[in-house]
Structure 1
Amino acid sequence: MSATLLGTIACTVGPRPELVAFAWLAVLCVALATIDLIVYRLPDRLTLPAYPVLAALLAGAALLNSEPSRFLRAVLAGAALAAGYLVLALIRPGDLGLGDVKLAGPLGMALGWTGWQSVLLATVLSFVLCGLVGAVLLVARRADARTVLPLGPFMVYATFVVLMVTPGQ
C-alpha cells in the first residue's frame, strides 16, 4: 500500500522539494491508519514527532521554492485544523479522540501547503466518508448505533485524495 501511495504522490507532485514532505507523511500515515483500524488508537510516539519533522521538510521546500507564504499557510492550516478538531473533541469527548486531534495538525500542514480550500475539502470528506461507511455497516447489520469507527483512516484517506487532485495551487 505504501509503495502505491508513494508512486501516486510522486507522479502527482513531480520533482519538487515538497515531494519529500508528502512522501514522508504518506509512509507515516499508512502506519497510523493501520494502527487505528486495529487498536483504535493513534500513538503519540508517531503523531507528535510528525509536527517538527513535517514542519522542517516543508520549511526546506519553501526555501528551495522561494515560497515562504506557502510555509506560513501550511503552519497556520495545521494549527487551525488541530484547534478545530480539539473543539470538536471537547464538545463531544467520547466521539472524537485526542489522537485524531493530534493527527489533524500534520495533515492540516500538508493540506495547507496546497491551499485553504484543500483543508476544508479534506476535512469535510473525512467526515462524509466515515458517515457513509457507518451507514453501510448499519444497513448491512454489521454495526449498530453504538459501534465506534476510527476516524484516523478516513482523515488520512481524505487528505491524500485531496492532495492528489490539488497538488500545486
Structure 2
Amino acid sequence: MIVALPVLAAVFGLVIGSFLNVVVYRVPAGMSVSHPASACPTCHSEIRPFDNVPILSWLVLRGRCRDCRTPISARYPLVEFATGVFFVVVAIRFWPVGGESLGSGPFIARILLIAAFLYLAAVSMALGIIDGEHHRLPDRIVYPSYAVGATLLAASSLLSGSWGDLGRAGLGLVILGSFYFIAAFLYPAGMGFGDVKLAGLLGLYLGYLGWGPLIVGGFSAFLFGGVFSIVLIALKRMGRKGGIPFGPWMLVGAWFGVFAGPAVWNGYLALLGLAS
C-alpha cells in the first residue's frame, strides 16, 4: 500500500491538474466549469478525449492544436505536473509510518484526512494562479471549500476520535479569520476581503494539525510575502507603494506550516527553553 500510494496520488493529481486548467481559465471569466466541452479558443474545435490526456497529449501534439496548429500554452502541462507532484508529497506527508489495518476505522479516518488535504492542495493551486493573474480569490472556490474541508475533517475525527483536533480547527478558523479581518479593517489598501475569507479556510486546516502549524503557517505568509516584496523593490520591479497579490503567499505560508510547522514551532519553544 505504501508503494502504491505515491503512484495513485500522482495519477489522481495529473487528472485533477487537467481540471484545474479549466477552473483557472473559466472561473475568473464567470463561465461554467462543466460545459461546454473544452475547445480550441482559435478554431473552436472541440478537444478530443485522446488529446486531453494530462501532459502526454501536449507532448504528442508538440504543444499545438491538432486542427489549426495554434500554440498551446506550456502552462497546461506544467499545472498538471505540479499538481501531480503536489498530491504525491501531500499523500506521503499524511500517511502513517507504521500503517493501519486496512478497512479499520483509523485507516478510513486517515484516508479522509488525506482527501481533505488533497482537496486543499487542488484549491491552493487554483487560487494561487487566479489571484496571481487576476488579483481575485473567487467565492465560487473559497466558500464551497469551507463545507468540503469541514465535512472531511469532521468525518475523520468521528472515526479516529480526535475531537480535540476538530475543536482546534474551529478555533483556528476564527482566530486566523479574525486576525485578517482586523488587518483588512485597519489597512484596507493592503488587505482585501478575499484574503479574509481565505484566512478562515486556512485557519481551519492549520488549526486541525495543531497550534504550531497554525502560528507558523499564519506568520510565514507575511514573512515570505515581505521578503518577495523587498526583492521586487530592490530589483526596481515594484515601487515602495506598490502591491502584490497576497493570496499566493498566504497559501505558501500555510503549506509551510503544514509540512514544517511542528518542527519549526518545537524548535522555537526549545530555543526559549519552553519545550516539554
TM class, shorter-length: over 0.9
Aligned to 1:124: 219
Aligned to 1:50: 145
Output the TM-score relative to the length of structure 1. 0.95
Give structure 1 stretches of 5+ with no counterpart: none
| Residue type of the alignment partner of 1:43 | P
Q: Report which structure shows greater RCO (CA 8 Å, sep ≥6).
A: 1
Q: How many residues align?
A: 168
Aligned to 1:67: 162
In the alignment, the residues of structure 2 paired with residue 2 and residue 164 of structure 1 have an alpha-carbon distance, to the nearest angstrom, of 17
2:214 maps to 1:133: no
Aligned to 1:14: 95
Deviation at 1:166, TM superposition (A): 4.6
CA offsets, 1:27-52, max 9 Å, x none? 01110010000011101111111111
| Residue type of the alignment partner of 1:3 | G
Deviation at 1:106, TM superposition (A): 1.2
The correspondence of residues 70-109 of structure 1 with structure 2, limited to 5 A, is 70-109=165-204
Alignment check: 8 A CA contact 2:213 2:260 kept: no
Deviation at 1:146, TM superposition (A): 2.2
Q: Secondary structure at the match of 1:2?
A: helix
In the alignment, the residues of structure 1 paired with residue 92 and residue 119 of structure 2 have an alpha-carbon distance, to the nearest angstrom, of 15
Give structure 2 stretches of 5+ with no counterpart: 1-81, 97-109, 263-276
Alignment check: 8 A CA contact 1:70 1:113 kept: yes
In the alignment, the residues of structure 1 paired with residue 195 and residue 259 of structure 2 have an alpha-carbon distance, to the nearest angstrom, of 22
In the alignment, the residues of structure 2 paired with residue 118 and residue 142 of structure 1 have an alpha-carbon distance, to the nearest angstrom, of 32
Output the TM-score relative to the length of structure 2. 0.59
Alignment check: 8 A CA contact 1:114 1:166 kept: no
Deviation at 1:81, TM superposition (A): 0.7
Name the CA shift for 1:136/1:166 in 2 (closer, same or farther; >3 Å): closer
Q: Secondary structure at the match of 1:36?
A: helix
In the alignment, the residues of structure 2 paired with residue 95 and residue 108 of structure 1 have an alpha-carbon distance, to the nearest angstrom, of 20
Q: Radius of gyration: which is bigger? A: 2
Alignment check: 8 A CA contact 1:5 1:26 kept: yes
2:5 maps to 1:5: no
Q: Secondary structure at the match of 1:93?
A: coil
2:245 maps to 1:164: no
CA offsets, 1:106-150, max 9 Å, x none? 111110011112111111110011110000001111111122111
Hey, which of these two has a bigger chunk of helix by percent?
A: 1
In the alignment, the residues of structure 2 paired with residue 164 and residue 4 of structure 1 have an alpha-carbon distance, to the nearest angstrom, of 15
Structure 1's consecutive aligned runs of 4 or more residues displaced over 6 angstroms after TM superposition are none
Q: Report % sequence identity.
A: 34
| Residue type of the alignment partner of 1:4 | V
Give me the CA root mean square deviation: 1.4
In the alignment, the residues of structure 2 paired with residue 144 and residue 98 of structure 1 have an alpha-carbon distance, to the nearest angstrom, of 23
Residue 153 of structure 1 is aligned with which of 241, 248, 255? 248
Aligned to 1:28: 123
In the alignment, the residues of structure 1 paired with residue 221 and residue 236 of structure 2 have an alpha-carbon distance, to the nearest angstrom, of 22
